[in-house]
Structure 1
Amino acid sequence: MDLNLRKAILSNIATNDQQQLEATIEDAIQNGEEKMLPGLGVLFELIWNQSDEGERQEMVDALEQGVKQTVEPQ
C-alpha cells in the first residue's frame, strides 16, 4: 500500500480559505492530539517554503523562545 500522508493532508485542505486554515491550526493545537502533528508539520513545511530568509529567522527565533519557555522553569 502506497500511502503519501503529505499528499493526503494537502488534498484535504486544498480548497480551504484563510479562515478555514486558521481554524484547522487552532483546532489541532487546542485538542493537543498527537494524530494532528503530521498535519501541522505539513502546514509548517508550506509556510517555511513560502518564506524568505528573514521570515525563516523570525520563525526560528520564535521557536527557540517557545521551546525555552516550555522546557525551562519560569
Structure 2
Amino acid sequence: MIVVPADRLSPDALQSVIEDFITVQMPEDWSAEEPIATRAEQVKTMINKGLIEIRFDPQTQACGLFEKEKN
C-alpha cells in the first residue's frame, strides 16, 4: 500500500474516496441519519488532522481511507 497525500488527488477523486468510506466503511458510531455532506466534512477534518490517511493498492488499483498507523 502506498500512502497518498490528500492534496495529490483532484477534488473529485478525494470526494469519491470520502464518499466510498462513508457509504461502505462507515464507522459504527456514526448515525445513519446524518447527512453525507456533514460526514464528508468530518472525514476531511480527520484527514487534515492526520487521524486517517489515503492509501493506494497497486495490485487492485484502488484507494481507500485507513486509520493512520501509530509509530
Q: What TM-score results when the alignment is normalised by the length of structure 2? A: 0.31
Question: Larger relative CO (CA 8 A, sep 6+): 1 or 2?
Answer: 2
Q: What TM-score results when the alignment is normalised by the length of structure 1? A: 0.31
Rg larger in 1 or in 2? 1
